[in-house]
Structure 1
Amino acid sequence: MPDLATAPEVTALPADNPFAAPSTLPYGLPDFAAVRLEHFRPAVLAGMAAQRAEWEAIATDQDLPDVANTLEALECSGEILRRTMVVLHTLAGSVGGDDLHALESEIAPLLAAHGDALYLDRRIYNRLESVANAAPLLDLDDETAWLLEQYRKTFVRAGIRLTEPEQEQLRALNARIVTLETEFSQRAVRSLEAGALPVHDPARLAGLDEGTVAALARNAADRSDDAAGAGHLITLQLPTQQPLLARLTDRELRTALLEASRTRGSGVDADSDTRVVLLELARLRAERARLLGYEHHAAYIAEDGTALTAEAVRAMLERLAAPAARNARLEAAELQAMLDADHDGETLTAADWGYYSERLRKERFDLDDDVLRPYLELDRVLTDGVFHAATALFGITFHERPDLAGYTDGVRVWEVKEEDGSGLGLFVGDFYARAGKRGGAWMHSFVRQSHLLGRKPVVVNNLNITAPPPGEPTLLTWDEVRTCFHEFGHALHGLFSNVHYPTLSGTSVPRDFVEYPSQVNEMWMTDAAVVGRFARHHSTGEPLPQHLLEKLLAVGAYGEGFATTEYLGAALLDQAWHRLTPEEVPTAPEDVEEFERAALDAAGVGLDLVPPRYRSTYFNHSFGGGYDAAYYSYIWSEVLDAETVEWFHHEAAQGGDGGLNRAAGQRFREELLSRGFSRDPLGSFRALRGRDADIAPLLARRGLAE
């Protein structure tokens, strides 16, 4: 197993390494122009060595343990490593490339060993215990007391109470697990590229607008392999259902596109086959959970969230599964009737769902994505939609900084200012898909806010919008508009952080709580005062016609049977893999599909017409790390989200504004967005709402109420 003992000793970085000192750019934005590949390895090794020395100084301090020499010293440690790794992970995920991925793979087990060096150090744990025992005399403030408890809990969950032989076994498991997670994530990216679908006959692209067809031609031209000769190339996005399935009229091409999507990682391409990796990951996670005293990995993960138990998670998912599947079957019957009119005697398939669902939506609500797209231009959605709602709620303003460079072409930077003109932080937007970029959308932080360290936040949103031809506007689908608002909800959570300790900053909350603020922010995309500003024709500036706007807002729970079942399929798969004991994990790659089918059938969501949002072989949330045994978090958080939307629309509303006012925004900011993980997250919700959450608003929103 690689560890620090086998790595070249690095005592200091040369001054010309950009990670040797803090960035001098505004707000500590990394100086990407100065960073080269060869800077990373020595910076990571030096950063780990420096932090190990800092931990050793804490462990051997002869003074009585207190907040300053133990808690604050831990919080201040690891600066070189932190500023190096945030840039490395950003470039690996958003730019990609074999060299970065190889380096990431090399470093992953070293980082796992590095974390174990802290959390398995009994000397530091004993110091924390001493501070806890002395807490009544130290008169700790609430945030410090909470941080102390989180550290103690983390040490226990990390294995501090294991015997020495057990700890050695745990170290080996941790190193192998992070190595496999990195490999899965990289293979999942390769599977997106390997699954891209060449189209040789442009007539088969009927149903697509000229801009989309031109983008597909550019995809082919950008590829250096044989696909370039195809003339057009449909690239894949991370979820099973692909956006173009709703628009392509060629049924055979739709079938081929869905097949390319759903078979990713399943062995159709050897270099991106993830099955062996995910099976080993499931087994090793189960072994680690058993070693730490848990029934399974799902129990280990749930304990660290607001759910607390895997049984609570399962009960909630099972409560939703039956009504969601019922609604999906009702929706399928309507779509089958439409298919019959086109292809008498043919049976509806999963590849048909998006196409006929979109047609039904057009007929029922007179809505068409191709009609909407000219009114949904990216810059206007950002400026007059996402940013405008934030200004109306919180008084903040956005000022683009073209003088500040991102990490690759097309990345943009805005300075965010408070209502009084003082600087709040930076917002970085990386909106376009590119070769090597991992799929999906996400937020992360370059700099976390902390009063202890005197830092203001620098946050990043990543999307995967297909770039238009040069000189053409970026026109979005309604779902892409939703993604813009959703990810910016995460950004607000990071920007508004107002805590002392960096560990508790911003989005550093339990995984089953972190999606809550982002889901709340989606509500403003359908607010009449907001959508009326951003939904304007990109060339004429004319607003979206009122009858279309009314129909758009009236869609409500249409299609939620499919959407909820698709999501639950993935969430239940995630739970199924992580509720296994080591002995129960399948051993052969060909067993993956059978396990998946059995798990979905047992949960009542094994509908061929509604494949899970992510199948196991490209389920990067789960097997790439980050949401393992926690994909339930989205629907768990939506219970809080639906309740909060009710609060905005009723208690917080003023003069029929739906809650889009400064008083409502300020309270939401003060009680929740600013708190980070400085207190019990559900306590923050109760402080806002005045009571515990009720699932009824969620059931009504998704059309699942009896």
Structure 2
Amino acid sequence: MRIPFVLAATLAIAAPVLAQTVVPATPRTNVAVPTDATLDTPSAVNLLLTPSTLPLQYPPFDKIRDADIGPALDQGMAEQLAEVAVIVDNTAAPTFDNTIVALERGGRTLARANTLLSSLTGADANPARLKLQADYATRLAAHRDAIALNPKLFARVEALYKQRATLGLGAQEQRLVERHYNQLLRAGAKLDEAGKARMKAINGELAQLGARFNQNVLAEVNESAVIVDRAEDLAGLGDEQISAAASAAKARGLDGKYLVALLNTTGQPVLSQLENRALRERIYEASVARGSRGNAYDNTALVSRVVTLRAERARLLGFATHADFVLKDETAQGQQAVNAMLRQLAPAAVGAARREGGELQAMIDREQKAKGQPSFKLAAWDWSFYSEKVRAAKYGFDESQLKPYLEMKNVLENGVFYAAGQLYGLKFKQRNDLPVYHPDVLVYDVFNADGSPLAIFLADMYARPSKRGGAWMNAYVDQSGLLNQKPVVANHLNIPKPADGKPTLLTWDEVNTMFHEFGHALHGMFSNVKYPSMAGTRVPRDFVEYPSQVNEMWADWPSVLANYARHYKTGEPMPRALLDKVLAAKQFNQGFATTEYLSAAMLDQRWHQLPLEQIPAADGVMAFEAKALREEGYDYDPVPPRYRTPYFSHIMGGYAAGYYAYVWSEVLDANTVQWFKANGGLKRELGDAFRAKLLSQGGSQDALTLFRGVVGHEPQIQPLLERRGLVIEKSEKAKTTATK
């Protein structure tokens, strides 16, 4: 996933699916699943029950109905339980092959069905898929517990763990034994029967609450869209944007009106353009009220319950808090390191934001005086609008001057793909013969420099009401030597779709997001490991964002930018003077960007570092948030957190107590960017080294060992501070080592 804080923004990582012999696809035109695919009639043959016969096991989206998913999940769970029974009932002594490898081979049908369901509910939800997600959340949690808490299985894995040094295993195999053992331990395998029963109940309830939270967020972000009656109130938007807003309103039966859709972030992109201050305020207030309005989608009680259950589960497992439980398994290894880093950065970030706010206030004062009108105090809904004005004044350009040179497909093919070709020798070829789940999805074959097939890549770039917010990568098929699988990976963004026939012109942040998410895709595509549970992005959460953030550096690399930054009408390259201004403005607004991110990361930690007895009830959720922001020094109203608690989807998913990972990873990223630059930049030998030493390794080695193997030293925080133009107090400057 990517957030605008990372500048050079729930990462969905699906389970692997079963290997097969690859056969050629039947030529056809890319076909989207029809909108009536929610029909309850199953297909005559459920293709989820067997590996796909399309290239690289690409999913047959056009032949799988929603009604096929439930039966496939049911059969998949039954199959996996039978596979585990064979393992635990084996009278032979446990061996690596009859226990660990057998576990790695198992669960293929379930993985295939669950991957499809989780991917489609994120990318193209409909009532049938959302109902399946809700109906199966608790059942899948119970299924996972039935395996993880099986005492016979744990006994076999524990026996191998105790003997691992004497079994003659390779380094990757020994690490895999340790990984399986620790996962079972963290799942509660050593609890007594009462503890296991409570663990199962907690996990089941958490699964149900997580599904409800995500569905509430999706529903309310659509319901909270702002309806505008007059086109003149949209002054500042381009003609294409106004036309798209009219089309969106018409689609809801509101002919003659305009609909401003929201994204699942606190700030909204249109706030940088709208001249109507009252409308800016209205959009902002609609955004921040989500999830705490006391309506059907209010998430405050749900948040309180989730945090309580997580704290109880952590205590069952011997940890003081949920954060202790999570961080024990990350590269940070504990609260102390995370808190120290966040609190080291906070004063510099907030101080920079206040200085930036002072510049914005001065511009407001000058403008209002020139109009003969009283000034007003800078508010959160003013920041983006006036920061664009300050950018124009300081650097001689604003976002509107860039967008004509940033047409979406051109950025993808002649920017993102071009950089990957220069650095890694990759080649891409669009194909139109594979089915897609939505007409907007593009499909590409990816080849190595020698012409051998590497992967299939899906690009799903547009926002839509059926799609969750943010940007993410997921894998439909994970690489595995054991299963003879090559990867099928997808990137998802939420770029507003223009009216029919109009070009898709990107903001600079959207360009960076595209490069960022493709960094995740490269991590998945370059994976070259044997065992599926170690493939691709299966690395610690506070390491997974690191390769994707490194890939952002190529967005403004001069030779790459010159290749894609071309006017969508004329094909003329971006003028050198404008290019130079873009590069000169890299540190612009970094106080704001860093502060809005850090305040959200801090909220995540404050929630999950609470002992069980101190967790507030529903009516105290928003008060706790306000108190935490104030106590940590983030009570600067013009810069709210990027996510407020009731719509903070990251921490209801895989980033609970882990949202700090973006800045933790960016420390590693900033060090690696220095390594690239010091050794020549965009060079094949550097790309090949980064691929071989890090991107291909997945989770087969210790994460920081992989990092040190590339850059040659421990991670240091100074490159990050220099990149962002942040100043740390002298007493803090000695603390340059960011991680253990």
Superposition TM-score, scaled by structure 1 size: 0.95
CA RMSD of aligned residues (A): 1.2
Deviation at 1:212, TM superposition (A): 0.9
Structure 1 position 247 matched with structure 2 position 273: yes
Q: How far apart, in 2, do the equivalents of 1:82 and 1:532 lie?
A: 42
Three-state SS of the structure 1 residue aligned to 2:208 is helix
Q: How far apart, in 2, do the equivalents of 1:575 and 1:515 lie?
A: 18
In the alignment, what sits opposite 2:146? 117
Q: How far apart, in 1, do the equivalents of 2:448 and 2:529 lie?
A: 17
Structure 1 position 432 matched with structure 2 position 439: no
Paired AA for residue 608 in structure 1? D
Paired AA for residue 624 in structure 2? F
* Aligned residues between the structures: 682
In the alignment, what sits opposite 1:322? 347
Paired AA for residue 340 in structure 2? A
1:555-576 C-alpha deviation (Å, 9 max, x unpaired) = 1211111111100110011111
1:214-248 C-alpha deviation (Å, 9 max, x unpaired) = 11111111224xxx246110000111111110111
Q: Is the 8 A contact 1:405 1:411 kept in 2?
A: no
In the alignment, what sits opposite 1:70? 99
Deviation at 1:148, TM superposition (A): 0.6
Residues 157 and 220 of structure 1: CA distance in aligned 2, closer, same or farther (over 3 Å): same
In the alignment, what sits opposite 1:506? 536
Q: How does 1:223-234 map to 2 (within 5 A)?
A: 223-224=252-253, 228-229=254-255, 231-234=257-260
Deviation at 1:133, TM superposition (A): 3.5
Q: How far apart, in 1, do the equivalents of 2:638 and 2:238 lie?
A: 27
1:598-618 C-alpha deviation (Å, 9 max, x unpaired) = 001111112111000000010
Q: Is the 8 A contact 2:43 2:65 kept in 1?
A: no
Paired AA for residue 597 in structure 1? A
1:156-208 C-alpha deviation (Å, 9 max, x unpaired) = 11111111101100100011011111110110111111110001011011111
Deviation at 1:127, TM superposition (A): 1.0
In the alignment, what sits opposite 1:139? 168
In the alignment, what sits opposite 1:693? 715
In the alignment, what sits opposite 1:488? 518
Q: How far apart, in 1, do the equivalents of 2:527 and 2:116 lie?
A: 21
Deviation at 1:135, TM superposition (A): 3.0
Q: How far apart, in 2, do the equivalents of 1:490 and 1:107 lie?
A: 28
In the alignment, what sits opposite 1:89? 118
Paired AA for residue 260 in structure 2? I
Paired AA for residue 231 in structure 2? P
In the alignment, what sits opposite 1:579? 609
Structure 1 position 272 matched with structure 2 position 297: yes
Structure 1 position 365 matched with structure 2 position 395: yes
Three-state SS of the structure 2 residue aligned to 1:704 is coil
Structure 1 position 305 matched with structure 2 position 330: yes
Q: Is the 8 A contact 2:406 2:505 kept in 1?
A: yes
Among 296, 315, 320, which residue is 1:295 paired with? 320
Q: How far apart, in 1, do the equivalents of 2:180 and 2:334 lie?
A: 20
Structure 1 position 682 matched with structure 2 position 701: no
Structure 1 position 662 matched with structure 2 position 684: yes
Paired AA for residue 717 in structure 2? I
Deviation at 1:492, TM superposition (A): 0.2
Q: Is the 8 A contact 1:198 1:230 kept in 2?
A: no
Paired AA for residue 284 in structure 1? L
Deviation at 1:582, TM superposition (A): 2.1
In the alignment, what sits opposite 1:630? 658
Paired AA for residue 129 in structure 1? E
In the alignment, what sits opposite 1:199? 228
Residues 428 and 14 of structure 1: CA distance in aligned 2, closer, same or farther (over 3 Å): closer
Q: Is the 8 A contact 2:303 2:618 kept in 1?
A: no
Q: How far apart, in 1, do the equivalents of 2:547 and 2:518 lie?
A: 9
Residues 615 and 136 of structure 1: CA distance in aligned 2, closer, same or farther (over 3 Å): closer
Q: How does 1:520-599 map to 2 (within 5 A)?
A: 520-589=550-619, 591-599=620-628
In the alignment, what sits opposite 2:206? 177
Three-state SS of the structure 2 residue aligned to 1:539 is coil
Q: How far apart, in 2, do the equivalents of 1:389 and 1:75 lie?
A: 35
In the alignment, what sits opposite 1:646? 674
Question: Greater CA deviation, 92-101 or 301-310?
Answer: 92-101
Deviation at 1:130, TM superposition (A): 2.2
Paired AA for residue 628 in structure 1? A
Three-state SS of the structure 1 residue aligned to 2:262 is coil
Among 683, 695, 698, which residue is 1:673 paired with? 695
Three-state SS of the structure 2 residue aligned to 1:272 is coil
Deviation at 1:593, TM superposition (A): 1.6
Among 495, 503, 507, which residue is 1:473 paired with? 503
Q: How far apart, in 2, do the equivalents of 1:367 and 1:457 lie?
A: 41
In the alignment, what sits opposite 2:476? 446
Q: How far apart, in 1, do the equivalents of 2:610 and 2:389 lie?
A: 42
Three-state SS of the structure 2 residue aligned to 1:679 is coil
Q: How far apart, in 1, do the equivalents of 2:144 and 2:125 lie?
A: 25
Q: Is the 8 A contact 1:468 1:474 kept in 2?
A: yes
In the alignment, what sits opposite 2:16? none
Among 100, 104, 127, which residue is 2:129 paired with? 100
Paired AA for residue 326 in structure 2? I
Q: How far apart, in 2, do the equivalents of 1:98 and 1:20 lie?
A: 23
Three-state SS of the structure 2 residue aligned to 1:271 is coil
In the alignment, what sits opposite 2:239? 210
Q: Is the 8 A contact 1:237 1:440 kept in 2?
A: yes
Structure 1 position 417 matched with structure 2 position 455: no
In the alignment, what sits opposite 1:4? none
Q: How far apart, in 2, do the equivalents of 1:629 and 1:324 lie?
A: 21
Deviation at 1:679, TM superposition (A): 0.6
Paired AA for residue 300 in structure 1? F
Deviation at 1:279, TM superposition (A): 0.9
1:629-683 C-alpha deviation (Å, 9 max, x unpaired) = 1000000000000000000000x21xxxxx1010000000011100000010111
1:91-120 C-alpha deviation (Å, 9 max, x unpaired) = 111111222111101101111111111211
Deviation at 1:15, TM superposition (A): 7.3
Paired AA for residue 275 in structure 2? T
Superposition TM-score, scaled by structure 2 size: 0.91
Q: Is the 8 A contact 2:519 2:549 kept in 1?
A: yes
Paired AA for residue 166 in structure 1? G
Name structure 1 gaps, 5 residues minimum.
Answer: 1-12, 654-658
Deviation at 1:139, TM superposition (A): 1.1
Name structure 2 gaps, 5 residues minimum.
Answer: 1-41, 369-373, 729-740
Q: How far apart, in 2, do the equivalents of 1:230 and 1:77 lie?
A: 56
1:283-306 C-alpha deviation (Å, 9 max, x unpaired) = 111111111111101111111110
Three-state SS of the structure 1 residue aligned to 2:213 is helix
1:364-394 C-alpha deviation (Å, 9 max, x unpaired) = 1111211111100011101110000000010
Structure 1 position 333 matched with structure 2 position 363: no
Q: How far apart, in 1, do the equivalents of 2:569 and 2:43 lie?
A: 52
Three-state SS of the structure 2 residue aligned to 1:688 is helix
Q: Is the 8 A contact 1:14 1:20 kept in 2?
A: no
Q: Is the 8 A contact 1:325 1:605 kept in 2?
A: yes
Deviation at 1:439, TM superposition (A): 0.5
Q: Is the 8 A contact 1:487 1:518 kept in 2?
A: yes
Three-state SS of the structure 1 residue aligned to 2:543 is coil
Q: How far apart, in 2, do the equivalents of 1:313 and 1:230 lie?
A: 51
Q: How far apart, in 1, do the equivalents of 2:663 and 2:223 lie?
A: 31
Three-state SS of the structure 2 residue aligned to 1:443 is strand
Aligned structure 1 segments of 4 or more residues deviating by more than 6 angstroms: none
1:6-62 C-alpha deviation (Å, 9 max, x unpaired) = xxxxxxx99711111100000001101111111111110110010000001101111
